[in-house]
A and B are shown apart, each in its own frame.
Chain A
Amino acid sequence: MNYSDEEIVKEVLAGEKQLFGVLVDRYQRPVYNLMLRYAQNSDEAADLTQDAFMRSFERLWLFRTGEVFFPWLYSLAVNLAKDWSRKKNRQQAKMHILQYEAADRQADEDENNSSENRQEIEQVQHGLMELPSRTREILILRYRHGCPIQDVAGVFRLSESAVKMRIKRGLAQLRDILLDKQSQQS
């Protein structure tokens, strides 16, 4: 039986804790990657992912009928990541950037893409890491996870028009970064 997220939330609130595992299965990857982008260290990212899911479990009763679970969870995760970021020394995070990048290359989910296309994706991925974190996460949530503007606005507590503006600016910034890199290479 394929339960919707909202049905699962109801069951978990009724005491079926084990069903929370279905939600973890569905969303651990995006949340883990979100944390990885902030922490740039796989151990820290794993710990933060655990904390994000635990926070969502503890606050599940606040989840309102009619809401969509993923943006709600993502919003908690983004806030957690931002709090963590504020506390963490930036220099220390930078030390791990190589580790993140090296491991990232191992992920090979787009085997069907041509090598040229893979290279382009990699460039975009690197370019994203140079954007301000909020802009980067808005772009990822919108394009990678296909979230509607309304949900993205909810996650970042912005108006829909502000989200559209940030997406537009983010794309322009990303394009500039990519052009910059191309000119450096040539």
Chain B
Amino acid sequence: MKNRQVDEKKIEELLQKTREREAPLWLKQEIMHRVYRSNPSLLHRLMSRFFQPPALRFSPVGLVLVLLIAATGFWGGILAERHSSDVNSPRAVTMSAFADNAGANYLIGRGLLAGNKREAALDFFRKAVELEPDTAEYVHWQGVAYWSLGKEDLERQSYFQTVQNHPDFVPSLVNLGHNYLESGDYNAALQYYERALQNDPHISEALYNSALAYQKLDNEAMERQAFRDYLETNRTGKWAYRAVDHLHQLGDFTFRSYRIGIHRIILNVTDLLQPDSVVRQKEVELLAHAVNRASRQELHIVVYNKEKNGMAGKTALNLRNQLLRQLGPEQDHPIKVSWFEAAETVSSQNGENLQLSPSVLIFSTLSNGENRRKSI
């Protein structure tokens, strides 16, 4: 384009030759992980069923369902045969519901619900509850079937019935929490989540949704605490990343996510930077696990601390040593540490610059630093 000879033909030619960067090597792997984990939506399944030719395929869930129905059918047949002298018609026992076997009704209901046959499933659960109203699972699953049909009031009544007879039946307590959360009664939702967590403090849905309920109630302090509680025991999956985002939006950087190789990990930065190695241990273990999974990666740990002179360097070296001990003598990942007696500047989600101190930045690079692009 010298001598100002810029004509459109020339630009068109140059546009064809513009260069593109290679996608990262790990990208495909990450996408395929997500693809394998994802299930098709209900709409997709329905459309596929109606618009695609049928094909014989092995499905473990389908097989279990078929066997279950066949077995209960067979059992029902035997029962019918045994009592045939007592009834006028030998076909009195049908697959619509078993007259006297709550367990069979419940199992078939579960199978039908798994196959998205909701109305039919509800009939079987109702029959099971009618036969054994004190069995918590039957009443609970009747509630689940009502939920799947969008009948929230009836769903709630089923769970009430369960917790009335079994006050510590956690699945119904959690689902009551969900039910109230969806209906907008956040205080009631919190009350049931709390009861569920008293029985089992690690129920992730109850922890996460408690935070959402507090958010709806504009109780930032409790929202923050609930997300922290959730992240103490949940560090993987999209909800964990969302919890980290929620905390960051609240200006709380206790937890941060870092990319090590192709994986992201979430670490409790406050614990990781504690002087006590026992407090750091859990976070160091998580970091070591991520480092072990990342092949050919060089790990970089950058510690920031503007408050105490010499503290940043000491923390960085302590971290490195503890991590090396955790990785063991055979580890071959280079670990580089650096430190600044200054605050780390990060961008908040609304674009503001925030100063964090103490803080740590962790990332990895390909250990040989070579351009790994290959041409065939």
A contacts, CB < 8 Å to B: 13-15, 17-18, 20-21, 24-25, 28-33, 36, 42-43, 46, 49-50, 53-54, 57-58, 61, 89, 91-92, 95, 103-104, 106-110, 113, 116-117, 120-121, 123-125, 128, 139-140, 143-144, 146, 171-172, 174-175, 178-179, 182
Contact = CB atoms under 8 A, between A and B. Distances in A.
30 contacts: A13-B52, A18-B32, A20-B32, A21-B28, A21-B32, A21-B35, A24-B27, A24-B32, A28-B23, A29-B22, A30-B20, A32-B21, A32-B24, A36-B21, A54-B31, A61-B48, A106-B371, A109-B19, A110-B17, A120-B14, A124-B11, A124-B18, A128-B18, A140-B15, A143-B18, A171-B11, A174-B11, A178-B6, A179-B6, A182-B6
Interface residues on B, range: 35 or more
A157 B31 CA distance: 27
Given A21-B28, A61-B44, A143-B12, 8 more contacts: A15-B57, A49-B31, A50-B34, A106-B21, A143-B18, A174-B11, A175-B6, A179-B4
A58 to B, nearest CB: 7
Interface in B247-290: 259
Contact of B35 (A57, A123, A128, A139): A57
A123 to B, nearest CB: 7
Given A24-B31, A92-B347, A178-B11, A42 B24 contact: yes
Contacts of A91: 351
Nearest to A181: B1
Given A17-B36, A140-B18, A29 B11 contact: no
B30 interface: yes
The 4 tightest CB contacts between A and B, nearest first, are: A89-B351, A143-B15, A32-B23, A28-B23
Contacts of B18: 121, 124-125, 128, 140, 143-144
A172 B12 CA distance: 11
A50 B26 CA distance: 11
Interface of B: 1-2, 4, 6-8, 11-12, 14-24, 27-28, 30-32, 34-36, 38, 40-41, 44, 47-48, 52, 55, 57, 259, 347, 350-351, 371
